[in-house]
Chain A
């Protein structure tokens, strides 16, 4: 660790992993509820489990992004963080607010939660992924502003690199677009229209900038390749991301009551969204092939190379699968979407956060560069278990989705939703098994932190 203040990243990373475990546990419950409908009912109804599963994902990724920023910004700017104390204070505020929100979901009915949190005064609740009580949303904005203030001040006083500026742009975008979660018009079309400004412009816009910056940072550190080369790639990748991603929002506007031209705009531009991901794959392997040193942290390298590959498959290929309007006419809102969502989130965002944790954590825990061989071997096992499990989750959900589309929407004798769900149950069972394998991988991942042994040293 080159700068003292980088240490604040550690609690963020630990909290991220903790919440990740929660997310996966609820995922396993949820997966079982697909086939055993009354599992844990009425304690944890399906809608609540789903809300917790998706909200925890978002929150732990945010913890991961913040931890990553606190870790990489001091090194990039070559200066200590503006205020490590503010970073720690915000950590506790965010963690407590997040925990209280999840407890609220689990302990009281959602309508009661809305009532006791004063949703009437400024109604923002009740929309997918933005279910948080209004006061939690306000809390998120306060935390985000404090965080941005801290990071921006640090970057302003230090060295300005392309990586830190791209990261900053992504983080500011994240905060700005979240503000649309407070806009909740009565008109359902307008509501959905701006809802996507948070959801889509996050994951298919500004988050990709954060992803690019974190990945570039890890690759520079691990390969020792010239900054100039990496920065050039980053420019091209973020330009393509923004061009395709912003207008690509249109692929959500096909059937919600917006003008017809969105079917063309959405189809054309979102069809190009795989390009920046493909560039990331070429970029990462190119940089690693040109490496000037053999970094001892093989596990981190695995995550860093896995990220673009899985992101390209999950976000790029599985996104393209159902992005064209004539296809989406039949597939929207089916398990095809779920398949894409799982692999895209895992490949793009889960893996990049795990990559920086894998890279940074040994140093944060006082090692020179990497964990012991034994620890790394276990971590690499967890990489393969989780990644392969995710591939199977995606494939099984795709199978379920294709059948669902056929039986429910295309076939001459189209059948009702629940009748079809019964017929594709076998895919849900197999997905659940794959999900359990994922959970085992995650347990191994956590255990790898507690495996001792002699540290690997840096070779020049």
Chain B
């Protein structure tokens, strides 16, 4: 990437308050994952059997979609550090579109499961599958809303090379949403 990119040199990037929020979110998902592991240990067969019925292709595509969106966010931050606000806004728009693709694929997954008559009460595995993916789904929506707010401000010229904390803040949150999925996907869809 561009070697002349300016960094603010601050750590952590973005507003400190978002990091408290990110840590709290990671803790919430962490406890959810631990509960999953705990429940699975008591029900290995049921979990393995039910897991086979998930749509792994959709999950894998969504993983690529989210990682790509994170890459676009990285480009957006790089763009604003290069003082290119419009370019930054374009990259953010691309990331938001990827978020929408994720949501659509996920909705399709939810829909097919609904068609199969699967609910939270089907069994413990599906309770976790539906709860975890829905909880994450809501976070993708929140992340997309945050990115949209940042994009609109970038488009209005609200960020510069010197002051672009907002872009880093939104980007940090978005990476968290991505990171959680990167753990969630293998944990729930793949690991046996």
Contact = CB atoms under 8 A, between A and B. Distances in A.
Given A236-B20, A236-B21, A264-B131, A272 B28 contact: yes
A275 B131 contact: no
Interface residues of B, number: 17
Interface string B15-45: 1010011001001100110010001000000
A268 B31 CA distance: 7
B17 A265 contact: no
B35 A264 contact: yes
A260 B24 CA distance: 26
A240 interface: yes
Interface size class for chain A? 20 to 34
Nearest to A229: B17
A155 interface: no
A272 B24 CA distance: 9
B44 to A, nearest CB: 18
Given A235-B17, A268-B31, A268-B32, A261 B121 contact: yes
Contacts of B127: 260-261, 264
A240 B24 CA distance: 8
Q: Secondary structure of the A side of the interface?
A: helix
A233 B32 CA distance: 25
B28 A259 contact: no
Contacts of A239: 21
B155 to A, nearest CB: 24
Contacts of A235: 17
B181 interface: no
A239 B28 CA distance: 13
Nearest to B20: A236
A233 B17 CA distance: 7
Contacts, number: 42
Contact of B121 (A260, A265, A269, A272): A260
Interface string A227-242: 0000011011001100
B128 interface: yes
A261 B35 CA distance: 12
A147 B120 CA distance: 41
Given A240-B24, A261-B120, A268-B31, A232 B15 contact: yes
Contacts of B120: 259, 261
A243 interface: yes
A268 B35 contact: yes
A323 to B, nearest CB: 12
A376 interface: no
Interface in A10-51: none
A372 interface: no
Contacts of B128: 264
B31 to A, nearest CB: 6
B121 A259 contact: yes
A261 B24 CA distance: 23
A141 interface: no
Given A264-B127, A264-B131, A275 B24 contact: yes
A267 interface: yes
Nearest to B15: A232
In this complex, which of B17, B32, B39 has the most chain A Cβ atoms within 10 angstroms of its Cβ? B17
A284 to B, nearest CB: 15
In this complex, which of A265, A268, A272 has the most chain B Cβ atoms within 10 angstroms of its Cβ? A268
Contact of A275 (B27, B32, B39, B121): B27
A142 interface: no
A236 B21 CA distance: 6
A235 B20 CA distance: 11
A240 B21 CA distance: 8
A355 interface: no
Contact of A265 (B21, B24, B28, B131): B131
Contacts of A275: 24, 27
B122 to A, nearest CB: 10
A166 interface: no
A232 B165 CA distance: 14
Interface in A359-374: none
Nearest to B23: A275
Contacts of A236: 17, 20-21, 24
A302 interface: no
B121 A243 contact: no
A90 interface: no
Nearest to A232: B17
A265 B20 CA distance: 23
A95 interface: no
Nearest to A278: B24
A267 B35 contact: yes
Interface in A57-83: none
A261 B124 CA distance: 8
Nearest to B32: A268
A272 B27 contact: yes
Interface in B57-108: none
9 contacts: A232-B17, A240-B21, A244-B28, A260-B127, A261-B121, A264-B39, A267-B35, A272-B27, A272-B31
Which 7 A-B pairs have CB atoms at the shortest separation, nearest pair first?
A261-B120, A232-B17, A261-B127, A259-B121, A236-B20, A236-B17, A236-B21
Interface of A: 232-233, 235-236, 239-240, 243-244, 259-261, 264-265, 267-269, 271-272, 275, 279
Given A259-B121, A264-B39, 6 more contacts: A232-B15, A261-B121, A261-B131, A265-B131, A272-B28, A272-B31
